[in-house]
Amino acid sequence: MFIPAANQKIWLCTTPVDMRKSFNGLSALVRNKLCHNPQSGQYFVFINARKTQMKVLYFESSGYCVWAKRLEQGQFPVKPHPSGIQSLTGCTLQMIVDGITVLRLKQAKRYGQSSA
């Protein structure tokens, strides 16, 4: 099971990626295509054209890590984004991994303590 570190930024590359790429190829995509630093500690999610394989690249203090998942049936519920990159929350990433599609999103209003 993959659990991203709390409060880390997660980026989804919405254009298809060749899943033969590993550490070097994915880090080059992050640097050149997504215009981010692959050693920033942020998570970078890549999905193939058939939406049946996913890889997540991230950097820890001792080096790069790649997490991968291949579906036996079905597809990851990912839609293209005009910019080619989309910001995700840890919860949203977990829903994509689990195959959950949100048809309609309604967030309840939250009230905070007012300082008087």
**pLDDT, tens digit, for every residue of 14-54?**
999 999 999 999 999 999 999 999 999 999 999 999 999 99
With cut-offs at 50, 70 and 90, classify the pLDDT of residue 7.
Answer: confident
Q: Is the pTM of this model over 0.85?
A: no
- Per-residue pLDDT of 72-100, as tens digits, reads 999 998 888 888 899 998 888 988 888 88
CB 67 within 8 A of CB 55: yes
CB atoms within 10 A of CB 23: 14
| DSSP per-residue codes, 33-66 | TS-S-TTSS-EEEEE-TTS-EEEEEEEETTEEEE
Question: Whole-angstrom Cα distance, residue 82 to residue 77?
Answer: 16
Where helices occur in the chain by DSSP H, the ranges are 23-32, 90-98
